[in-house]
Structure 1
């Protein structure tokens, strides 16, 4: 083994081109309405002002750049047609429509999208132009935002577009809901939507229940009720209710909402949270610090496990290696590289850390890791071999740090098989690169969601990545508090529980090729996400006080820098709400 090569995320990518996401669109003016007609429209019931909103008349009323748009009969959300727009080259498949509106009025812009990255927005409002977006989705997903027209605005340009180099996106049921501007073809007042069908429980932990339901035609949002009390409102068809008690049964219902009102409640479903020990890491502190310990010497301080500061709650031993058996892994302590550290000392140090309330897990992968779990047989081999390492060394669980791709189907199968062998106390962590968690349809994100009920924490690597998209659709450069918070928001809004999200940063400038931030910046990001304080330009829509904590690469590089990372971040994590 070449010990120098084994380190976190050295893949350096850049999405610098993302800065061109918001492209200017031309607004075609429509003759101004008279004062009397504007007053009449403003007092009338809200309507959908978009024409051919469901693409039932082909592309009539719509213009798509570079011939990128067409209509298809599948997939469709309602009716018999939907828009399919395919980015190509330097074209992002922008489709636009000029919509007549009433001055000084508020409108809700909405659309249902599927497929590749999809953006929805409006220009020419006369006030503040707005947009929203979503990563690629395998099912229909609703986008929604609001805007207000200026005192002389009589038309706006509504647009959808995809992303360069990404697959085609689909759009259906586009709406510009508000006072009748006289140009739409939907003059009907919206009716109260029907109750959501298909409400089901998609996952549970000791403190949360995840729910999903079928989309309701005409709905612009949904509310979730716990034991008859409204607990959250969302725009999509899933939600996670947190702050629950362990081993407790709850009843849940959902309603659909739009401008006309709220539906009756759906049929109720009952969910019981797990016992405190039934989800990975439930006996960890509410907020935890993870550090990677290097089983090799690459110039950082060589450590025994006993040298790792007590600030670290989870110690990930890096790394397990692939064997010649597909999916199987092994671990050999590098005693020679670690100044004669013996296996017996290593095992004794694991027990000592556990006696002090810490968790020690084996990390699989790293930058050069070649472990591949691509079929049922390799999934079984992975589960069996990791479980064997847990029994041999006393590891509490496993960390998935596969930076060269993974198969969501078979990695899910492997982790569930491992959990069945190891029991409910198993710690399961992941350390994906930023690019791996940009979209819920990505294999890493899919795997995390697939095993959410046994997942302890995802500590994304906020380094060696270049610029990335935040949950607000804006581009952020690494090395800032905004990069940490806006990208964490993608995971928090994408379905992970706050207790399953951690911030991963380098312990020193030498620990990564790029993306180092001072410990104070890490602490500011933690404050922003948990308390909405010390934020940069990005501020989450709400606080996430249950955020799990922070991770660093590595305890060895931290020691090289005088343990400046753990001595600053550790106490701060412990003091979070």
Structure 2
């Protein structure tokens, strides 16, 4: 505002008019400057005009700067070479103001291209054959002073391109919004290793590295598991059965949670479990040692993935049927967690479960580990289609420490849904109507996930196309893409999906990861 004139000052009308005009001009200039400041692009090197990745931190070996294709009027653009194990993410951390609205926008080209804020708002396009605009708005929290912007593609979807990126809004304390950089001669640099900034993406876990599952707006279940809102889990086979043999480090980063299958019963310790690398797998991989496996667990951790030890399986003989067995179970699992670096345990006892003592064992383990412990359950449909089942009772007994339950919607046959009707497996109704039972009877949405086989070879029955799993997730979360069964409620916090197994998914070209994983990443 222009300063007030002192009262009683003598001026001619012309002088007043000239002064007024000048004042308005000054005021307008100030207002324009304030508006410009409010909408300044806070990103450094937003159009890669330096001819380099300056200002950006990208997954190693995946990013470069190219001269074609580029957005209209620009000279350079980002190229992210997504592959089977990396989504080619690039991030930049920016200072912002608390309780303030911002807009993130950009131009992208390619399949499954994402743009967003780590742990917050995001947007994406499944297929952009030419430059396509993406934009999302968000408001910072009362104490937030920085955000991490990300862009990335998706596994095995090929190279994506990004250009003309912008984060507009008031600059935070200590930041100096940059103007668009001057053009330099092309010198695409090798992308630097990723810094310890939160990973992003609509389905990335909030971790220092490349993708796991991007929208980490909160953890599933309770505690501090570090998992994203919608989790993609998969079993890694510690044995050879015709599926592609993989080292643990070869598991794609899109799997947020990896269940190592399986631990064995300790015949000398009632309720106790043991774990070692299966000789058949070691042979198939040309030698795979316990030391290498332990190193691989650490590698997955560096990518933001979590690894839990699964106990049981179809042929498992582990039994927890007494207080002593519960104590032995907890102590033995805790020892294995410390030895190999596991983040928790998966209960896959397919030959009966004692809810009372298994709950005791898991509570004892939680007391040993703390709130970071991940506990997952993998019941068969027969175990949870009514609340009277022991597995359902176990889930309710440990609800305060349970991370997620992945019911196996396969090898089942027909089963009753929450409406009392009978549904056949291999259908969307089967998944949604049975999940509804768990959702309506005590488990939180974040504790309910869908378990499906990765291919027709992975299970005797129950395989469905991954796109149908996406529809079931949409139906449960938003009431869209439903079959004839329409759930009585919407559960936007639905926990995610699991597949048996990552190895079978690898044998099938990672169809489950590419379809269901990408879809979970896009869910808000």
Is 1:450 matched with 2:393? Answer: no
Q: Quick one: distance in 2 between partners of 1:494 and 1:404?
A: 24
Q: 1:316 touches 1:363 (CA, 8 Å); kept in 2?
A: yes
Larger radius of gyration: 2
Structure 2: distance between partners of 1:296 and 1:437: 28
**Partner in structure 2 of residue 300 of structure 1:** 243
Q: How does 1:545-564 map to 2 (within 5 A)?
A: 545-564=492-511
Aligned 8 A contact 2:220 2:228 in 1: no
Equivalent residue for 1:528?
475
Following superposition of structure 1 onto structure 2, how do residues 127-526 of structure 1 map, counting pairs within 5 Å?
Answer: 279-280=222-223, 282-324=225-267, 325-338=269-282, 339=285, 340-526=287-473
**What corresponds to 2:183 in structure 1?**
none
**For 1:356 and 1:555, how far apart are their aligned partners in 2?**
17
Cα gap change, 1:423 to 1:323, in 2 (>3 Å): same
Native 8 Å contact 1:335 1:342 kept in 2: no
SS of aligned partner of 1:316: strand
Q: SS in structure 1 opposite 2:517?
A: helix
- Give SS of 1:483's match: helix
The structure in which a higher percent of residues are strand is: 1
Shift of 1:307: 1.0
The separation in 2 between residues aligned to 1:528 and 1:436, in whole angstroms, is: 23
The aligned length equals 304
Q: What SS is found at the alignment partner of 2:281?
A: coil
CA distance in structure 2 between the partners assigned to 1:514 and 1:464 by the alignment: 5
- Aligned equivalents of 1:278, 1:458: Cα separation in 2: 10
Equivalence map 1:4-83=2 (5 Å): none
- 3-state DSSP class of the match of 2:457? helix
CA shift digits 1:523-570 (9 cap, x unpaired) = 000010001111000011121000010000000000000111111110
Distance in 1 (CA, whole Å) between partners of 2:241 and 2:499 is 16
Q: How much has 1:444 moved relative to structure 2? A: 0.4
Distance 1:310 1:512 in 2: 24
* 1:483 CA displacement: 0.4
Seen in structure 2, the aligned counterparts of structure 1 residues 505 and 361 have a Cα distance that, compared at 3 Å, is same
- For residues 319 and 304 of structure 1, what CA distance do their matches in structure 2 show? 15
Q: 3-state DSSP class of the match of 1:452?
A: coil
Offset at residue 352 of structure 1 (A): 1.1
Alpha-carbon separation, structure 1, partners of 2:417 and 2:398: 24
The 1:406/1:533 distance shift into structure 2, 3 A limit, reads same
Tell me the secondary structure at the aligned position of residue 453 of structure 1: coil
SS of the counterpart of 1:509? coil
| 2:451 counterpart SS class | strand
Residue 400 of structure 1, CA deviation? 0.1
List alignment gaps of at least 5 residues for structure 1: 1-244, 246-274
Partner of 2:491: 544
Q: CA deviation at 1:282?
A: 3.9
- For the Cα contact (< 8 Å) 1:281–1:456, is it kept in 2? no
Partners of 1:368 and 1:276 in 2: how far apart?
32
**Does structure 2 retain, via aligned residues, the 8 Å contact 1:292–1:555?**
yes
C-alpha distance in structure 1 between counterparts of 2:289 and 2:418, whole Å: 46
Structure 1 position 309, deviation (Å)? 1.1
State the alpha-carbon separation in 2 of the partners of residues 495 and 315 from structure 1: 26
Q: TM-score when scaled to structure 2?
A: 0.57
Q: Displacement, 1:336?
A: 4.5
Q: Which runs of 5+ in 2 are unaligned?
A: 1-140, 142-217
Per-residue CA deviation, residues 146-172 of structure 1 (Å, 9 max, x unaligned), is: xxxxxxxxxxxxxxxxxxxxxxxxxxx
- Structure 1 residue 301, shift from structure 2 partner: 0.1
The verdict on how the C-alpha distance between 1:471 and 1:390 changes in structure 2, with shifts beyond 3 A counting, is same
Q: Tell me which residue corresponds to 2:30.
A: none
Cα distance change of structure 1 residues 281 and 431 upon mapping to structure 2, 3 Å threshold: farther
Structure 1 runs of 4+ aligned residues shifted over 3 Å read 275-278
